[in-house]
């Protein structure tokens, strides 16, 4: 038993251990790998923290469901923390939106809201690909919102660094192949007719990382295949603003958020997005979460130079864009 757990066990050792043993076997192994270094400590500390937060707990009582949820979320956040601590320059500090809060993502941004943009993606690809347009690889596919529309036209392979987001996407897109991977290093050893990198690219905060992600796209394109890069903004188009939104689910859950974009250091390649997220589950009290994201932003010229450095040929494709001015689209082809 870890240091933090011992004093709690002394207070009500029986109830605490019953809960640990009961829930350990039921819920957590599917979410957190027991082989990950530091996982046991994280697991025990999560129980200790949750147990303290619920003084009325007696095993089997109503509070045990709450306790299991707190522990489950803490362990997911912990497994994400160790994953990202081992890498450099991505999703730092750890964002909860793609970890513990991943099951809520479709209430923050709804798959049906992506229909117009996905149709535009398909039109661009059809116009730009030289040869067949059948297979598509998405790097950073998130909740699979875009893919839920694009999959009717392309055979999609969806990749993301977050296992929790892949699980969510699988529930929406069970017919698509899903693979865990970092867009900077992924190498599948096969090529596609199209590669898509949408808003996930915003989590790359260093020019070197952006360059390696563009190389990943190039490495997965057949000759004549096309990559679409759709960042939320370039340095030239970045708008500092606040917005709000959210949705009601059919399962009794609701989410509302406030998104606040700031740029404390306009001379560097990052900016900040703070989310204040309110979560409601049936009759339970409203929960508030603050999630701080550090995103990357690069000049239009940097994007173009990196695409050329990766051997891609930049294209100007003329198709109607229903979201013109709201996003940036770079189209680049693998030369034949």
Ligand X SMILES: C[S@@+](CC[C@H](N)C(=O)[O-])C[C@H]1O[C@@H](n2cnc3c(N)ncnc32)[C@H](O)[C@@H]1O
Instruction: Give contact residues for ligand X (rule: CB under 6 A).
Output: 90-91, 98, 114, 139-146, 160-162, 165, 182-184, 198-200, 203
Return the structure tokens found at 273.
């997005």
Q: In the complex with ligand X, which residue's Cβ is closer, 63 or 151?
A: 151
Q: Which residues contact 248 (CB under 8 A, 6 or more apart)?
A: 107, 254
Q: How far is the CB of 310 from ligand X (least distance, A)?
A: 16
Q: Which ranges in the chain belong to alpha helices (H)?
A: 6-26, 28-31, 39-53, 63-85, 105-108, 115-128, 147-150, 163-172, 207-219, 300-309
Q: In the complex with ligand X, which residue's Cβ is closer, 67 or 255?
A: 255
Q: In the complex with ligand X, which residue's Cβ is closer, 140 or 225?
A: 140
CA distances from 259 to 1, 103, 225, 243, 262 (A): 41, 19, 36, 5, 10
β-sheet bridge partners, residue 271: 295
Q: How far is the CB of 116 from ligand X (least distance, A)?
A: 13
Q: How far is the CB of 146 from ligand X (least distance, A)?
A: 4
β-sheet bridge partners, residue 324: 327
CA distances from 16 to 24, 218, 330 (A): 12, 53, 55
The CA-CA-CA angle for residues 155, 161, 167, to 5°, reads 65
Instruction: Give the count of beta carbons closer than 10 Å to the beta carbon of residue 75.
Output: 21
Instruction: Give the count of beta carbons closer than 10 Å to the beta carbon of residue 62.
Output: 10
Q: From CA 172, how far away is CA 102, in angstroms rounded?
A: 13
Q: In the complex with ligand X, which residue's Cβ is closer, 73 or 146?
A: 146
Q: Is 180 helix (H, G, I), strand (E, B) or coil?
A: strand
| Contact status, residue 233 vs residue 239, Cβ threshold 8 Å | yes
What does DSSP say about strands 253-262 and 192-197: parallel, antiparallel, or unpaired? unpaired
Q: How far is the CB of 289 from ligand X (least distance, A)?
A: 16
Q: In the complex with ligand X, which residue's Cβ is closer, 18 or 109?
A: 109
Cβ-closest position to ligand X: 142
Q: How far is the CB of 61 from ligand X (least distance, A)?
A: 36
Q: How far is the CB of 123 from ligand X (least distance, A)?
A: 17
Q: How far is the CB of 268 from ligand X (least distance, A)?
A: 19
Q: In the complex with ligand X, which residue's Cβ is closer, 59 or 169?
A: 169
Residue 312 C-alpha from the chain's centroid? 26
Q: In the complex with ligand X, which residue's Cβ is closer, 9 or 142?
A: 142
Q: In the complex with ligand X, which residue's Cβ is closer, 5 or 101?
A: 101
Q: How far is the CB of 18 from ligand X (least distance, A)?
A: 36
């Amino acid at each position: 038993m870890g240091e933090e757990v011992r004093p709690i066990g002394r207070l009500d050792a029986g109830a605490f251990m019953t809960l640990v043993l009961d829930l350990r076997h039921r819920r957590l192994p599917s979410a957190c790998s027991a082989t990950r270094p530091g996982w046991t400590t994280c697991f025990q500390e999560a129980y200790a923290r949750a147990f303290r937060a619920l003084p009325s707990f007696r095993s089997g009582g109503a509070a045990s469901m709450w306790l299991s949820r707190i522990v489950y979320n803490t362990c997911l956040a912990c497994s994400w923390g160790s994953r990202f601590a081992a890498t450099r320059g991505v999703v730092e500090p750890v964002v909860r939106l793609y970890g513990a809060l991943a099951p809520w993502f479709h209430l923050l941004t709804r798959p049906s809201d992506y229909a117009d943009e996905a149709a535009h993606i398909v039109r661009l690809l059809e116009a730009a690909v030289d040869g067949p347009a059948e297979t598509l690889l998405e790097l950073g596919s998130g909740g699979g919102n875009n893919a839920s529309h694009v999959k009717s036209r392309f055979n999609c392979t969806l990749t993301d660094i977050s296992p929790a987001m892949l699980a969510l996407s699988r529930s929406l897109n069970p017919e698509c192949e899903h693979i865990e991977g970092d867009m900077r290093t992924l190498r599948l050893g096969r090529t596609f007719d199209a590669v898509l990198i949408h808003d996930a690219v915003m989590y790359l905060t260093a020019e070197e990382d952006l360059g390696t992600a563009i190389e990943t796209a190039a490495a997965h394109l057949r000759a004549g295949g096309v990559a679409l890069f759709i960042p939320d903004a370039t340095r030239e188009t970045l708008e500092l603003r606040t917005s709000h939104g959210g949705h009601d689910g059919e399962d009794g859950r609701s989410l509302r958020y406030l998104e606040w974009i700031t740029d404390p250091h306009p001379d560097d390649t990052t900016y900040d997005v703070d989310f204040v997220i309110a979560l409601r589950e049936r009759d339970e009290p409203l929960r508030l979460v603050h999630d701080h994201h550090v995103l990357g932003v690069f000049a239009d010229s940097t994007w173009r130079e990196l695409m050329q450095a990766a051997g891609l040929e930049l294209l100007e494709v003329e198709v109607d864009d229903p979201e013109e001015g709201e996003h940036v689209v770079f189209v680049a082809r693998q030369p034949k």
